[in-house]
C-alpha cells in the first residue's frame, strides 16, 4: 500500500469526527446509536470517542448531548426549559365553510353576514364567524349604513401575515385565478368581476413575445 | 436494415438523404426549445462570440434558414416561431438597406441591439438559475434540526389554511355563482316595449325631422349606463315603427345624429 | 430596593444569554428572529449581541448559526451533507421552466408574469407558478401600479432558507448582473415602456375588492 493509498483509508482526525457526530445528531429526528454513527461515518472512525469529546464540549452549554435509550441526542439544558415553553401548534385545516367565508370576506371586505350568505348561497353558522374571529383573521369593521345597520367583517393584519400578503388587494383577481388554472375556464353569463381590475381587458399580461412586434 | 441497401429510401439520392437527415436532426430539437428566444440563443452559440458583439444579421439568416427547413419538412412550427421569423426578416431587410432618413421610429441598429440584449439577458438568467441550483440546498447539503423539541411545550390546535385553499375556495364559489339563474337588473334597463309606448304617444307631434336623442325619457340621460340602455331601446322602437310605416328615418353620414319624422299616410 | 430585588431585575450575564439563544435556536427548526428571542428571554437581554457570540463560537463546527432573512437558525455544515444521506427527502423535480422562472423572480423581484415571459420569450405555463407557490418559494408581492395592476411575485423566506441565503441581495452574481444592466427592464426601442419606474409605491389606491358591495 502506498502512502497515498493509506491516507485514503485513514480515518479523519478526531476533531473532524466530532463535527460529523455533531451534525448527524443535530439533523436526526431520532436518537442515534453508536452503531448507526459508525455506519454513516467514514471507515475507521471511532464514533464513541468522538461522541465523548462532543459531550464534553457541550457541558454547561445551552444544549447538551444526552443518552436516550441506546441512542444519543441533543436536548436543551433543563434549566432553560422555561424559555422553550412556547406554544406549539398542531395545525389542522379549516373547514370548507370557514375557508369560503374567509375568502369572501377577504375579497369583498367589508362584508356583512347577509352578503356572505348571498354569495355562498347558504346560511353562515355562528360558529364559523366566531372561529375566524377567535383566530384573529377577521374582525368587525364599520357598521353598514343601511337599514338595520348590519355589522361588517374585514380581515386583520394577522390574516395578511399568515398568507404572506401586504394587503388584501394583492389577492389575485378572478381573471388571474382563471389564468393560473384555479378557476374553471367557463364562459361567464353576465360576468361580474370583483372589481374594475379583475375584468379589465387590458389587465391581461401581454405575453412577452408579442411585444417584440409592436412599433 | 443495412443489408437492404439504399433502395429503401424511395429512390432518393444519397445527397437528399443526408440533407434530410441533417434537417431532421435539427427539427428533432424543436421540442427541446422553449420558444424562439431560446432557439436564437442556441443558434447564436455557433458564432462563438460575446453576445454583445453578436452578428444579429447572421443570426437572423440562421434562424430564417432553420424555419425554411422546418417548412420544407412540413413541420408545424408554433405561431410564435413564425412571428419571430417575420420580424427577423423585416429586421434583416432594414439592416441591409441604407437607412431612410424620412422614416421615424427606432433604427435597425437599435432593434438589433435590443435583440442582442434580450439574448444576453436570457443567457444571464440561465446561468444565474444554474448557479442558484448549484448552491448548497436545505435537505440535501445542509439540514435543519431533525427532532422536534417537545419539552415545555404547550400544545394548541391551530386552524389553518393556505393561500391556495383560499383562492380555490373563492374560485369555487364564484364559479358556482356564475351559474346562478341570470337576473336582469331592471332598474337600469329601459325596454323596447317601454320605448314603443312612449314613441307612439309622441310621434303624433313630430311632423318635422327631430333628433332621435330628444325622445329619450326623462331621468335616463345623465347616467351613462341608463342613457345607453334608453338609446338602444328607443332606436329599436324607431326601427319597429319604421317597419310598420309610421315614421321615416334619416342620417346624413355614419355616426351622425339620427332624425325621425312622422310618415303621413 | 434590596440587593436581591435588584438582581432579580438585572439582565443575566452575556454568557448566560448566549446559552439561552443557543437553546432556543437549537430547538427550533424554523429561523427565529431577534424580536422573537427578545420576547422569550428575560427583560433587559441583548439577543443580538448574544447571537454574535454564539455565531462565532460555532464557526467551523458541524453545525453553524446562519442568518435567513430576519431570522437565525442552526444548520448543519454543508461539507457534511454526504453523512446525512438518510435524512434526504426527495425534493420534487423542478422543470427547467420552473427553475428559470424561479431565478427570474429572485433576481428581478418583484416581477410580473409579463416580465417573466418577456425574459424567457415564452408564455409561463399554468402549473409553473402554482408549483412554486405551493413549495412556498414564491408569494404574491404588491400589485404593480401600471395599467391592469398586475400582481407581482417575490421570493419567500423559505426560499432563502432552502438555498442558504441571508437575503435576496446575496443571490450569486447579483451585483455583476445589475452593473451589466442585465436586470434592467429595457423596453423594445420605440415601444411603449412598461418599466418599473412607472411604479408608484404609494399611489396604491384601492379599486378592487371593496367595490362590489357598495351601492
Q: CA-CA distance, C113 to A166, in Å (whole number)?
A: 18
From chain A, the residues in CB contact with C149 under 8 A are 197, 203
| Chain C interface disruption, residue of B41, B140, B152, most C CBs within 10 A | B140
Tell me: do A110 and A209 sit in the same domain.
yes
Q: Report yes or no on C90 lying in a domain.
A: no
Q: Report yes or no on A89 lying in a domain.
A: no
**A213 to each of B83, B115, C146, how far by Cα in Å?**
8, 12, 21
Q: Which of C54, C64, C67, C18 is nearest to A23 (CA)?
A: C64
From chain B, the residues in CB contact with A99 under 8 A are 161, 165-166, 169
Q: CA-CA distance, B73 to B80, in Å (whole number)?
A: 18
- Domain stops at, among A25, A60, A84: A84
| Chain C interface disruption, residue of B40, B63, B118, B129, most C CBs within 10 A | B129
Q: What is the pLDDT of residues B107-152, one digit of tens each?
A: 888 888 899 999 999 999 999 999 998 888 887 788 888 776 555 5
Q: How many domains would you assign to chain A?
A: 2
Q: Report yes or no on A91 lying in a domain.
A: no
ipTM: 0.61
Tell me: do A138 and A208 sit in the same domain.
yes
Tell me: do C137 and C188 sit in the same domain.
yes
B154: confidence class by pLDDT, cuts 50, 70, 90: low
Q: Report yes or no on C89 lying in a domain.
A: no
Tell me: do A207 and A104 sit in the same domain.
yes
Q: Report yes or no on C91 lying in a domain.
A: no
Please indicate whether, in this complex, the C-beta atoms of B164 and C190 are within 8 angstroms of each other.
Answer: no
Q: Are B186 and B232 in contact (CB under 8 A)?
A: no
Q: Report yes or no on A128 lying in a domain.
A: yes
Domain extent, residue C32, equals 3-84
Tell me: do A75 and A7 sit in the same domain.
yes
Do the strands A87-93 and B154-160 form a parallel or antiparallel pair, or are they unpaired?
A: parallel
- Domain stops at, among A50, A84, A118: A84
Q: What is the pLDDT of residues C52-81, one digit of tens each?
A: 999 999 999 999 999 998 899 999 998 998
Q: Report yes or no on A90 lying in a domain.
A: no
Tell me: do A197 and A131 sit in the same domain.
yes
Tell me: do A31 and A79 sit in the same domain.
yes
Q: Report yes or no on A125 lying in a domain.
A: yes
Tell me: do A42 and A108 sit in the same domain.
no
Under 8 Å CB pairs connecting chains B and C tally to 132
Which chain A residue has the Cα nearest residue C24?
A84
Q: What is the pLDDT of residues A84-138, one digit of tens each?
A: 766 566 777 888 889 999 999 998 888 999 889 888 888 888 888 998 998 889 9
Q: CA-CA distance, A189 to B177, in Å (whole number)?
A: 10
pLDDT tops 70 at residue B155: no
Tell me: do A137 and A195 sit in the same domain.
yes
- Domain stops at, among C59, C84, C109: C84
CATH number at C138 reads 1.10.10.10
Please indicate whether, in this complex, the C-beta atoms of B144 and C73 are within 8 angstroms of each other.
Answer: yes
Tell me: do C159 and C118 sit in the same domain.
yes
| Chain C interface disruption, residue of B41, B52, B90, B142, most C CBs within 10 A | B142
Which chain A residue has the Cα nearest residue B106?
A215
- How many separate helices (H) and strands (E) can be counted in chain C? 9, 6
Tell me: do C209 and C136 sit in the same domain.
yes
Q: Which residues pair with B261 in a beta bridge?
A: B248
Interface membership of B176 toward A (CB under 8 Å): yes
Tell me: do C152 and C193 sit in the same domain.
yes
Interface membership of B17 toward A (CB under 8 Å): no
Sign of CA dihedral B8, B10, B16, B20: negative
**C33 to each of A215, C21, C25, C47, C73, how far by Cα in Å?**
50, 11, 10, 10, 9
Amino acid at each position: 500500500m502506498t502512502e497515498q493509498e493509506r491516507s485514503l483509508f485513514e480515518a479523519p482526525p478526531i476533531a473532524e469526527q466530532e463535527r460529523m457526530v455533531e451534525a448527524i445528531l443535530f439533523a436526526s429526528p431520532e436518537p442515534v446509536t453508536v452503531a448507526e454513527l459508525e455506519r454513516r461515518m467514514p471507515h475507521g472512525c471511532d464514533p464513541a470517542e468522538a461522541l465523548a469529546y462532543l459531550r464534553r464540549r457541550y457541558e454547561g452549554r445551552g444544549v447538551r448531548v444526552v443518552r436516550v435509550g441506546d441512542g444519543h441526542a441533543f436536548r436543551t439544558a433543563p434549566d432553560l426549559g422555561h424559555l422553550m415553553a412556547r406554544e406549539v401548534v398542531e395545525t389542522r385545516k379549516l373547514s370548507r365553510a370557514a375557508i369560503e367565508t374567509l375568502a369572501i370576506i377577504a375579497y369583498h371586505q367589508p362584508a356583512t353576514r347577509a352578503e356572505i350568505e348571498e354569495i355562498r348561497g347558504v346560511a353562515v353558522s355562528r360558529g364559523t364567524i366566531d372561529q375566524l374571529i377567535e383566530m384573529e383573521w377577521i374582525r368587525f369593521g364599520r357598521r353598514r349604513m343601511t337599514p338595520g345597520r348590519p355589522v361588517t367583517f374585514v380581515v386583520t393584519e394577522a390574516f395578511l401575515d399568515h398568507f404572506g400578503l401586504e394587503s388584501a388587494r394583492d389577492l389575485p383577481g378572478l381573471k388571474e385565478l382563471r389564468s393560473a388554472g384555479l378557476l374553471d375556464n367557463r364562459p361567464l353569463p353576465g360576468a361580474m368581476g370583483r372589481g374594475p381590475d379583475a375584468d379589465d381587458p387590458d389587465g391581461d399580461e401581454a405575453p412577452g413575445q408579442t411585444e417584440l412586434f409592436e412599433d | 436494415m443495412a443489408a437492404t441497401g439504399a433502395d429503401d429510401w424511395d429512390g432518393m439520392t444519397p445527397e437528399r438523404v443526408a440533407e434530410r437527415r441533417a434537417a431532421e436532426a435539427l427539427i428533432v430539437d424543436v421540442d427541446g426549445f422553449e420558444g424562439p428566444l431560446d432557439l436564437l440563443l442556441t443558434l447564436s452559440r455557433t458564432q462563438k462570440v460575446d453576445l454583445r458583439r453578436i452578428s444579429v444579421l447572421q443570426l437572423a439568416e440562421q434562424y430564417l434558414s432553420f424555419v425554411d427547413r422546418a417548412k420544407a419538412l412540413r413541420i408545424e412550427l408554433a405561431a410564435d416561431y413564425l412571428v419571430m421569423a417575420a420580424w427577423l426578416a423585416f429586421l434583416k431587410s432594414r439592416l441591409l438597406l441604407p437607412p431612410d432618413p424620412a422614416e421615424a421610429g427606432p433604427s435597425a441598429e437599435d432593434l438589433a441591439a435590443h435583440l442582442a440584449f434580450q439574448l444576453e439577458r436570457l443567457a444571464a438568467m440561465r446561468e444565474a438559475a444554474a448557479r442558484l441550483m448549484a448552491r448548497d440546498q436545505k435537505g440535501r447539503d445542509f439540514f435543519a434540526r431533525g427532532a422536534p423539541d417537545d419539552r415545555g411545550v404547550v400544545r394548541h390546535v391551530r386552524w389553518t389554511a393556505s393561500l391556495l385553499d383560499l383562492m380555490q375556495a373563492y374560485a369555487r364559489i364564484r364559479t358556482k355563482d356564475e351559474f346562478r339563474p341570470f337576473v336582469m337588473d331592471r332598474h337600469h334597463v329601459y325596454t323596447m316595449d317601454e320605448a314603443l309606448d312612449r314613441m307612439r304617444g309622441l310621434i303624433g307631434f313630430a311632423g318635422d325631422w327631430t333628433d332621435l336623442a330628444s325622445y329619450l325619457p326623462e331621468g335616463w340621460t345623465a347616467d351613462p349606463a341608463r342613457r345607453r340602455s334608453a338609446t338602444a331601446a328607443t332606436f329599436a322602437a324607431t326601427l319597429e315603427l319604421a317597419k310598420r310605416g309610421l315614421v321615416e328615418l334619416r342620417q346624413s353620414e355614419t355616426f351622425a345624429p339620427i332624425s325621425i319624422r312622422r310618415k303621413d299616410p
